Amino acid sequence: MNKSKVMHHWRFFLSLEKDFINLQNYIEVDEQNFNTFSLELAKLLQTACAEIESVLRLLCRQLDSESPFADSGDKFGEMKKYKKLINRHLNGFFYAEVSLPHLEQVIKPWANWSNTSPPDWWDSYNSVKHHRHSEFHQANLRNVIYALSGLMLCNLYLYRKVLGEPYATPNKIPEYFDCEYIAKRMACRADFELPGFEAK
């Protein structure tokens, strides 16, 4: 895998972020609206989480070339398998934070990913995917924020692992989602390294 292939996934995240920003014309991003659900939020949740699966699979392959997630191996990775491999190679992943300046909040989208169950927003994604007729209300603003935050971090870890450079971050920064692991200016490094990577 090379930088251009990783950037394809990063640009996909930025495209989803743009859709999220446009959605703010109709739904105010505010904690009072966290339970608001809609078709557009459902599309964002489903797309972001499907992309998370793709990026996690690639990250696991980068962390362990002997993983069962090669093209000829396990075609359908499960979250618990990803969790086990990430925990073995990069347990700082679960403590990484995303800032939401508009909400003046910092969240850790992967913090409650246990050995037995994925984060609650991931469960909501699966509920909407498999039981939309009864679980559509889970396609809400809160779950989309967590899914997009989780996707951003997955992409940053993949980018950092593929490039192999300390403080490596893509040079096109997000507009809405923020974190201390992204350089804010050209020719500068981020303030902090991604948790789990040792600065050199």
Per-residue model confidence as pLDDT tens digits over 24-69: 999 999 999 999 999 999 999 999 999 999 999 999 999 998 777 7
What angle is formed at CA 83 by the lines to CA 82 and CA 85, rounded to 5 degrees? 65
Pairing label, strands 105-107, 98-100: antiparallel
Other beta carbons less than 10 A from residue 89's beta carbon: 16
> What letter does residue 194 receive in the DSSP assignment?
P
> What letter does residue 65 receive in the DSSP assignment?
T
| Exposure of 64 in the CB half-sphere (CA atoms within 13 A) | 17
**Which pLDDT score, from 0 to 100, does residue 91 have?**
85
**Which pLDDT score, from 0 to 100, does residue 163 have?**
94
**Which pLDDT score, from 0 to 100, does residue 13 have?**
98
Nearest CA-CA partner of 151 in 65, 45, 71, 78? 45
User: Which residue positions in the chain have pLDDT lower than 50?
Assistant: 74-75, 200
**Which pLDDT score, from 0 to 100, does residue 33 have?**
96
**Which pLDDT score, from 0 to 100, does residue 199 have?**
54
**Which pLDDT score, from 0 to 100, does residue 185 have?**
63
Q: Quote the pTM value.
A: 0.90
Question: Six-digit token pair at 136?
Answer: 């559509």
Nearest CA-CA partner of 85 in 63, 70, 65, 116? 63
Please name the residue that has the structure tokens 């972020």. Answer: 17
